Amino acid sequence: MEDDPLGSLRMVTAYPGATDPALDTSTTDLRTYLATRDPSLVKGKGDRSLVWFTLRPLTVYDLAAISSQPSHAAMSMHAFQVAVAAVEGLDGDETWQPAAPGTAWRPAHESEDALGKMRAVMSRHDLQWLFGRVGWARILEVGAVALERANAGNGVGGAVSYTVPPLPSPVAATRSARPPAGQTPATSGTTTSAP
């Protein structure tokens, strides 16, 4: 299956460090799944529910706003907020209860996009709630996939080709930028002497 970057995508997380705990990694061809995001390749463990994210395509205007973020992690988080249209497989809690088994969680904050269309997007509260449910690494993976797809399709509604800067894997994006033990950070090249 070839992904249509201008259509929606239903996916589970599978990057190292972000793998859905219900994904059966012994029977799922992860290399092929990560390359294609073909849902038919996904095999779940029988005793747990997979968490499926449905992504809508980003617009070129979304890409412009996302690219202004200060880091790759912030770009992925912003893309996650805008691109996620539904999340299936979540258990209910005091904040949200599924109306029926299998009901997907959907963002409810209505916002007008740059093309004048109303769409439901994630509020900060929604993002914080999902962070508590699925974790940071999974949010980064889903956001990175949304950006990759937008880059491949050049965004919905735009005729201008726009290239998002390459993103490291979500695992690398979460690593600290501290120097290795025993090394000191570089300085600006100026020195001062004590009086």
pLDDT in tens, 88-127: 988 766 666 666 667 788 998 888 877 788 888 898 999 9
* pLDDT tens sequence across 150-167: 887 755 554 334 444 455
Is the pTM higher than 0.85? The answer reads no
The pLDDT of residue 162: 42
- pLDDT for the residue numbered 164: 46
How does the average pLDDT of the chain come out, rounded? 79
Say what percent of the chain tops pLDDT 90.
Answer: 43
Lowest mean pLDDT: which of 28-37, 53-62, 141-150, 161-170?
Answer: 161-170
Q: What percent of the chain has pLDDT over 70?
A: 71
Residue range 6-27: mean pLDDT, rounded? 91
Please tell me the predicted confidence (pLDDT) of residue 25.
Answer: 93
DSSP assignment string, the chain: ----TTS-EEE---STTT--TTB-TTTS-HHHHHHH--GGG--B-TTS---EEEEPPPBHHHHHHHHTSSSHHHHHHHHHHHHEEEEESPPP-SS---SSTTPPB---EEEE-TTS-EEEE--HHHHHHHHHHH-HHHHHHHHHHHHHHHHHHT-BT--S---PPP---HHHHHS--PPPTT------S------
One-letter amino acid of 46:
G
> What confidence score (pLDDT) does residue 120 get?
87
Asked if pLDDT for residue 142 goes beyond 60, the answer is yes
Split at pLDDT 50, 70, 90, the class of 180 is: low
How many angstroms separate the Cα of 13 from the Cα of each of 50, 89, 168?
9, 13, 16
